[in-house]
């Protein structure tokens, strides 16, 4: 072929110039569309609707379980923007990025619109009546034990209704599964403090020592903790709070800490006991038990320099009260409960219990308290499915086919259930395996109540109310669906409730005296409730009852390095994507990971030293292999990770769900071993060992940071400097 000299590059240049010209002329009057654009007016005016003027409604965020209250701007009947509701003690008018993306969930082009019935490999659109009739038909002759209902966290009236539905079926098999819930920490807290989730008073603490609790990013109630953190940094008595973060992989909280201490994965408990020993204030059997944890041994086992241990102990002694947190990075081991117990013990020894670890208030209606659960529930469901125990399986607000560890083979086991019903927003991996898929309203279209697990001050019930009419008319509220199903067997009992709204309203109005509305008539109470979006209650406060005990606390020696699989896989929690249920919201894909600034993809974090050893440079496509399988992704050299570990974020690697999720990145959970915490039976998220090999391919990592920015971050990470010559009290 003759080389004309007019290559693609020149062609693009010409195109560019013409494009610019068109764009320029676009700035002129051509953007004025008089005589062209149609102006559509209302046929009938709607009350309170003035074109161009927003109205605001209070509701609740349903993007995670923290339970922030929101205020949505609605214009011309469309919700445009969400803000936090200032009246809520949990978020005080603020929101996180994940919450902001709620509108993209609502308007998502990939939302399900019609009920679908499996017809071979595809779904056939059916009517709701047919769907309900089908469920009733499939339930005929099936005993309660043969029915399983899997859900994410449910609370409030929905939980009550769901409980009633299951009891109408004679089933007790409600499995509550949240892939990233702090299941082990809850159990350890219950033992140490008498409650699963005490109130952590970060703002009152002078030192926070956090073992892998990413409370500024994705842990429990991040918006609330971020505000507490701001106060903590302003300081109590003029002393700016000091944050020390101990974890093998730097989180957002770790990046904000005064001192980030990388630790050998799994040895958090050993360090906690080592600190108790170094403090030297424990007495009795605690003192006796920690005696063996001298500096030299602890330092050797955890990889934390002895000087660091001294300094942490010194500052904890100097400044009281402090607060010690056990988070995700500490609990993800077969001995996770032991780790968490050792860390909680530190709070007892330091006298923080009752000061910075306080009793939290609970809603005085225990039936509305959230049904919680973690991976142990998934395991027991999975075992049941594997045995072929269940004939009918319901799934709501969980996506186990995507989030269950590969070793569980959940997808295969799910196929053994005779009839699978998924209530879903998207055609996600689990819905794809179902026989009947029922499309749900978005949280901005739905009615409901929420009772958050973590209460900030007092107790509160959050109100969920529609900000606008359904985008897709044939989607339904999960409440309406459950009510319709309940009526199949208990028509008489529920005949007064036309829909879930009627149920909700009558349930709240009947209890108005207990909900602070004794002086109001029903309508006034109801209107006020909807206007405020929150019902504040005095709440019942269970006093902290646990005690400092060391009996039964046995920490295993650090695991030996496995020759074949020498590295520890840390499936990290990305602050936007969490467990992957929101991956199809493009804002979240587009917002860079706070530490690596990578967008729209997965990556593997590896310590530069380790990378050099393996000959890996940034952008190398590497294969990560565990006993279960392997994944391939791009390498990112990151000094904020322990050299013995690598980390891949959770949330990417969807094979279904929608256009912004499917086909981006890889799912580290697919190669996860099924190792469980010995005490609680929860999945040990950090127990998977892997090896890493180069594939020979290399890509340019798509990220926001520049080379200079990366260098700066690297220099800032003090953990890299293994020195004893650091005085924390002087540094802060």
Partner 1 sequence: MHRFLRITVLLTGLFAAFSIYAAESQQSVPMTEDSLGPLVEQPIEFPHNRHAGDADKGGMQINCMYCHTYARRSAVAGIPPLQKCIGCHQSIESVRETPRIKKLFEYWEAKKAVPWKKVHDLPDFVRFNHERHIKRFIEQQNRPFQEVCGYCHGNVKEMTVARRSKGLTMGWCASCHQKDHTVVAEGGTPIGTQAYWYTFYKPEVEDASAGVLKAKGPNDCWRCHK
Distance CA(164)–CA(367), nearest Å, equals 11
- Per-residue contact track with ligand SF4, 282 to 311, x per CB under 6 A? ------------------------------
Least Å distance, CB 59 to ligand SF4, is 11
Does position 1 bind partner 1 by CB under 8 A? no
Binders of ligand SF4: how many residues, by CB under 6 A? 13
Residue with tokens 């009558």: 506
Nearer to ligand SF4, 445 or 618 (CB): 445
Stretch that binds ligand SF4, among 59-67, 144-152, 360-368, 690-698 (CB under 6 A): 59-67
Does position 99 bind ligand SF4 by CB under 6 A? yes
Residue with tokens 């292999």: 625
Residue with tokens 């109005």: 509
Does position 397 bind ligand SF4 by CB under 6 A? no
Distance CA(583)–CA(661), nearest Å, equals 5
Nearer to ligand SF4, 66 or 116 (CB): 66
Distance CA(479)–CA(158), nearest Å, equals 6
Backbone angles phi, psi at 88, to 5 degrees: -85, 130
Closest Cα to residue 480, out of 501, 450, 451?
501
Least Å distance, CB 28 to partner 1, is 6
Contacts of 112 (CB under 8 A, 6+ apart): 424, 425, 426, 427, 431, 437, 439, 440, 475
Selected binder of ligand SF4 within 74, 79, 96, 202 (CB under 6 A):
96
- State the CB neighbour count (10 A cutoff) for residue 490: 14
Helix (H) or strand (E) holding 246: strand 242-246
Residue with tokens 């109470």: 525
Selected binder of partner 1 within 1, 8, 35, 730 (CB under 8 A):
35
Q: Which two tokens stand for residue 600?
A: 């729209």
Stretch that binds ligand SF4, among 62-70, 423-431, 523-531, 706-714 (CB under 6 A): 62-70
Does position 464 bind ligand SF4 by CB under 6 A? no
Selected binder of partner 1 within 44, 469, 492, 560 (CB under 8 A):
44
Distance CA(59)–CA(466), nearest Å, equals 8
Binders of partner 1: how many residues, by CB under 8 A? 38
Rounded to 10°, the helix 156-168/500-510 angle is 110
Does position 341 bind ligand SF4 by CB under 6 A? no
Burial per residue of 177-200, b for 16 or more beta-carbon CB atoms within 10 angstroms, e otherwise? bbbbbbbbbbbbbebbbbbbbbbb
Nearer to partner 1, 33 or 412 (CB): 33
Q: Which of helix, strand or coil describes residue 489? A: helix
Q: Which two tokens stand for residue 9?
A: 């590059």
- Per-residue contact track with partner 1, 237 to 276, x per CB under 8 A? ----------------------------------------
Nearer to partner 1, 17 or 600 (CB): 17
Does position 68 bind ligand SF4 by CB under 6 A? yes
Contact between 325 and 208 under an 8 Å Cβ cutoff? The reply is yes
Distance CA(70)–CA(53), nearest Å, equals 19
Contact between 422 and 437 under an 8 Å Cβ cutoff? The reply is yes
Q: Which of helix, strand or coil describes residue 205? A: coil
Does position 43 bind partner 1 by CB under 8 A? yes
Q: Which of ligand SF4, partner 1, none interacts with 30 (beta carbon under 5 to 8 A by kind)?
A: partner 1
Does position 66 bind ligand SF4 by CB under 6 A? yes
Distance CA(113)–CA(133), nearest Å, equals 19
**Stated length of the chain:** 732
Does position 496 bind partner 1 by CB under 8 A? no
Selected binder of partner 1 within 20, 80, 230, 721 (CB under 8 A):
20
Least Å distance, CB 582 to ligand SF4, is 9
Evaluate the CA torsion angle 109, 111, 116, 121 in order and state its sign.
positive
Evaluate the CA torsion angle 700, 703, 709, 715 in order and state its sign.
negative
Selected binder of ligand SF4 within 58, 59, 63, 462 (CB under 6 A):
63
Contact between 599 and 700 under an 8 Å Cβ cutoff? The reply is no
Least Å distance, CB 108 to partner 1, is 25
Distance CA(9)–CA(4), nearest Å, equals 13
Nearer to ligand SF4, 82 or 250 (CB): 82
Does position 29 bind partner 1 by CB under 8 A? yes
Burial per residue of 564-576, b for 16 or more beta-carbon CB atoms within 10 angstroms, e otherwise? ebebbbbbbbbbb
Helix (H) or strand (E) holding 450: strand 448-450
Q: Which of helix, strand or coil describes residue 624? A: strand
Least Å distance, CB 7 to partner 1, is 9
Does position 61 bind ligand SF4 by CB under 6 A? yes
Q: Which of ligand SF4, partner 1, none interacts with 63 (beta carbon under 5 to 8 A by kind)?
A: ligand SF4
Q: Which two tokens stand for residue 190?
A: 């219950």
- State the CB neighbour count (10 A cutoff) for residue 467: 28
The residue number with the shortest CB distance to ligand SF4 is 99
Does position 32 bind partner 1 by CB under 8 A? yes
Stretch that binds partner 1, among 14-22, 159-167, 183-191, 708-716 (CB under 8 A): 14-22
Selected binder of partner 1 within 8, 38, 238, 615 (CB under 8 A):
38
Distance CA(50)–CA(47), nearest Å, equals 8
Range 216-245, binding ligand SF4 (CB under 6 A): 222-223
Least Å distance, CB 340 to ligand SF4, is 23
Does position 103 bind ligand SF4 by CB under 6 A? no
Q: Which of partner 1, ligand SF4, none interacts with 40 (beta carbon under 5 to 8 A by kind)?
A: partner 1
Selected binder of ligand SF4 within 59, 91, 210, 576 (CB under 6 A):
91
Stretch that binds partner 1, among 7-15, 115-123, 449-457, 524-532 (CB under 8 A): 7-15
Q: Which two tokens stand for residue 702?
A: 């798509």
- Per-residue contact track with ligand SF4, 528 to 567, x per CB under 6 A? ----------------------------------------
- Per-residue contact track with partner 1, 48 to 67, x per CB under 8 A? --xxxx--------------
Least Å distance, CB 8 to partner 1, is 12
Selected binder of ligand SF4 within 58, 59, 64, 360 (CB under 6 A):
64
Stretch that binds ligand SF4, among 31-39, 91-99, 138-146, 235-243 (CB under 6 A): 91-99
Q: Which two tokens stand for residue 242?
A: 């000091």
Q: Which of partner 1, ligand SF4, none interacts with 41 (beta carbon under 5 to 8 A by kind)?
A: partner 1
Contact between 532 and 58 under an 8 Å Cβ cutoff? The reply is yes
Strand ranges (E), 585-688: 604-606, 620-625, 630-637, 645-649
- Can you give the binding site for partner 1, defined by CB under 8 A? 3-6, 10, 13-15, 17-18, 20-22, 24-25, 27-45, 50-53
Residues lying near ligand SF4 in the complex (CB under 6 A): 61, 63-64, 66-68, 91, 95-96, 98-99, 222-223
């Amino acid at each position: 072929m003759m080389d004309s000299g007019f290559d693609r590059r020149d062609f693009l240049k010409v195109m560019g110039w013409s494009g610019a010209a068109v764009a320029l002329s676009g700035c002129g009057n051509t953007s004025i569309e008089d005589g062209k654009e149609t102006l559509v007016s209302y046929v009938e005016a709607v009350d309170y609707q003035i074109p161009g003027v927003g109205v605001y409604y209070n509701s609740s965020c349903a993007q995670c379980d923290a339970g922030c209250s929101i205020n949505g701007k609605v214009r011309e009947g469309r919700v445009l923007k969400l803000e936090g509701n200032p009246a809520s003690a949990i978020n005080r008018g603020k929101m996180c990025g994940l919450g902001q993306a709620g509108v993209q969930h609502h308007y998502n082009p990939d939302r399900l619109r019609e009920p679908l019935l499996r017809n071979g490999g595809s779904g056939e659109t059916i009517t709701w009546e047919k769907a309900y009739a089908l469920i009733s038909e499939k339930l005929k002759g099936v005993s309660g034990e043969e029915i399983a209902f899997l859900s994410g966290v449910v609370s409030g009236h929905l939980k009550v209704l769901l409980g009633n539905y299951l009891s109408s079926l004679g089933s007790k098999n409600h499995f509550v599964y949240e892939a990233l819930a702090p299941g082990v920490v809850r159990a350890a807290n219950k033992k140490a403090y008498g409650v699963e989730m005490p109130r952590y008073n970060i703002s009152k603490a002078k030192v926070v020592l956090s073992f892998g609790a990413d409370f500024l990013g994705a842990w429990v109630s991040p918006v609330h903790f971020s505000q507490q953190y701001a106060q903590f940094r302003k300081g109590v008595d003029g002393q700016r709070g000091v944050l020390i973060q101990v974890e093998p992989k730097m989180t957002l909280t770790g990046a904000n800490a005064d001192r980030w201490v990388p630790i050998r994965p799994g040895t958090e408990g050993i360090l906690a006991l080592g600190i108790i020993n170094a403090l030297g204030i424990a007495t009795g059997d605690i003192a006796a038990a920690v005696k063996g944890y001298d500096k030299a041994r602890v330092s050797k086992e955890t990889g934390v320099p002895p000087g660091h241990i001294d300094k942490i102990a010194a500052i904890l002694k100097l400044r009281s009260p402090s607060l010690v947190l056990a988070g995700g990075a500490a609990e993800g081991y077969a001995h996770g409960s032991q780790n968490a117990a050792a860390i909680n013990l530190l709070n007892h020894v330091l006298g923080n219990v009752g000061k910075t670890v306080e009793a939290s208030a609970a809603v005085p209606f225990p039936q509305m308290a959230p049904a919680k659960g973690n991976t142990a529930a998934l395991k027991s469901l999975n075992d049941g499915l594997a045995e072929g125990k269940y004939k009918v399986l319901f799934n709501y607000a969980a996506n186990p086919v995507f989030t269950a560890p590969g070793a569980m083979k959940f997808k295969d086991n799910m196929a053994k259930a005779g009839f699978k019903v998924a209530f879903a927003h998207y055609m996600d991996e689990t819905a794809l395996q179902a026989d009947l898929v029922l499309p749900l309203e978005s949280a901005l279209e739905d009615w409901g109540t929420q009772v958050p697990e973590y209460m900030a001050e007092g107790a509160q019930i959050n109100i969920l109310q529609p900000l606008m009419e359904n985008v897709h008319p044939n989607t339904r509220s999960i409440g309406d669906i459950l009510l319709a199903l309940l009526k199949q067997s208990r028509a008489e009992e529920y005949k007064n409730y036309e829909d879930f709204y009627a149920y909700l309203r009558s349930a709240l109005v009947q209890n108005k005296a207990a909900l602070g509305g004794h002086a109001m008539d029903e309508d006034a109470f109801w209107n006020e409730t909807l206007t405020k979006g929150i019902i504040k209650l005095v709440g019942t406060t269970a006093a902290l009852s646990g005690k400092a005990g060391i009996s039964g606390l046995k920490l295993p020696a650090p695991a030996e390095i496995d020759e074949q699989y020498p590295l520890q896989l840390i499936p990290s929690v990305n602050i936007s994507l969490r467990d992957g249920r929101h991956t199809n919201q493009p804002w979240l894909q587009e917002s860079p990971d706070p530490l690596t600034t990578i967008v729209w993809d997965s990556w593997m974090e590896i310590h530069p030293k380790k990378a050099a050893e393996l000959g890996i440079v940034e952008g190398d496509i590497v294969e990560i292999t565990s006993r279960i399988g392997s994944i391939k992704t791009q390498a990112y050299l990151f000094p904020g990770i322990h050299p013995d570990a690598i980390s891949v974020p959770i949330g990417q690697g969807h094979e279904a769900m929608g256009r912004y999720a499917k086909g981006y990145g890889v799912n580290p959970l697919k190669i996860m071993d099924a190792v469980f915490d010995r005490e609680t039976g929860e999945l040990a998220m950090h127990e998977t060992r892997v090896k890493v090999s180069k594939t020979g391919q290399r890509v340019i990592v798509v990220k926001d940071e520049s080379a200079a920015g990366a260098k700066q971050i690297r220099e800032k990470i003090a953990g890299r400097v293994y020195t004893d010559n650091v005085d924390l009290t002087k540094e802060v």
